[in-house]
Amino acid sequence: MHLILFIVFAGLCLTGAINLLLQTHPINSALSLIVVMTSLAVLYLLLGAEFLAAAQVIVYAGAIMVLFTFVVMLLNAGREERTLGSRVARILGFPAVTAILAVMATVILRSEDLGVAGLRDRITTTQDLSAVLFTKLLLPFEVTSVLILIAILGSVALARQGDGKTRVNIGRTAGK
């Protein structure tokens, strides 16, 4: 049963990620990212990490994605101009992706004992996890939140700067 659920939600996660890349409207891309985050939460739940699954849904699929959706709506991002992309990226991109996939396939096929997993005698509790998160990893979490805040404020400032460039000629007539 776990294998079937894993295959279903891993496929849903991959489908959401591909849909995220193929969408032309930013709101639809954000919704696809919510599908990916929720599918990852279910995969965490299947691995027995209930705390991580709950944190994934609450923090990422909930708060962060709502924030991203509000920023996209605030910026009023419409359709972007379609381009053919960089010529260098087209020439080097496909061979590079093929090489990376070949290396990954070689490593997976040559590895022994792939898929063997076992539980240790001691299972990490939520108390142990929170002790590590709030002592050793507190600074990275705080730095990440400040960086996200700076990125959002920068995007809002850039959007406002674009509006400030339009000039209104008050007091001038069309004949002058």
Domain boundaries, the chain: 1-79
Integer-rounded Cα radius of gyration of the chain = 23
Report d(CA 115, CA 121) in Å as an integer.
19
For the whole model, what pTM was predicted?
Answer: 0.51
CATH 3.40.50.2000 fits 1-79, yes or no: no
Instruction: Output the pLDDT for position 118.
Output: 58
Instruction: Output the pLDDT for position 48.
Output: 82
Instruction: Output the pLDDT for position 176.
Output: 47
pLDDT along the chain (176 residues), means of 10: 86 91 82 88 87 84 76 66 70 84 83 61 73 85 84 77 49 49
Tokens 């990125």 belong to 151
Residue 23 CB neighbours (<10 A): 15
Residue 33 CB neighbours (<10 A): 21
Instruction: Output the pLDDT for position 33.
Output: 87
Contacts of 9 (CB under 8 A, 6+ apart): 39, 42, 43, 46
